[in-house]
Amino acid sequence: MKEIKDTVRSRVRIAFDGSVHKTFHGTNAEERYQTELRVLDYLQAKGCDFVPVVIDNDDATLTLVTSNCGQPVTKLSSEKVKLIFGELLEYGVKHGDEFERNITYDSRRGRFCVIDFELAEILEEEEELQDDGRED
Does 100 score more than 90 pLDDT?
yes
Percent of the chain with pLDDT over 70: 91
pLDDT at 136 over 50: no
What does the mean pLDDT of the chain come to? 91
Instruction: Say yes or no to pLDDT of 90 above 70.
Output: yes
User: What is the C-alpha to C-alpha distance for residues 136 and 26, in angstroms, rounded to an integer?
Assistant: 42
Of the ranges 53-57, 82-86, 108-112, 122-126, which one carries the lowest mean pLDDT score? 122-126
- Angle at 79 (CA atoms; ends 14, 4), nearest 5 degrees: 15
- Average pLDDT of span 4-33: 93
Q: How far apart are the first and last CA of the chain?
A: 55
E-only strand ranges, 1-136: 2-6, 10-14, 20-24, 54-58, 63-66, 71-72, 93-94, 103-106, 111-114, 121-122
Amino acid at 15: A
Average pLDDT over residues 115-134: 74
Residue 24: C-alpha distances to residues 64, 76, 87, 123 (Å): 8, 27, 26, 24
The confidence score (pLDDT) of residue 70 equals 94
Q: Give the span between the Cα atoms of 123 and 136, in whole angstroms.
A: 22
Number of domains in the chain: 1
pLDDT at 74: 86
Q: Domain span at residue 41?
A: 2-132
The stretch 103-129 carries a mean pLDDT of: 88
CATH number for 101: 1.10.510.10
pLDDT of residue 78: 95
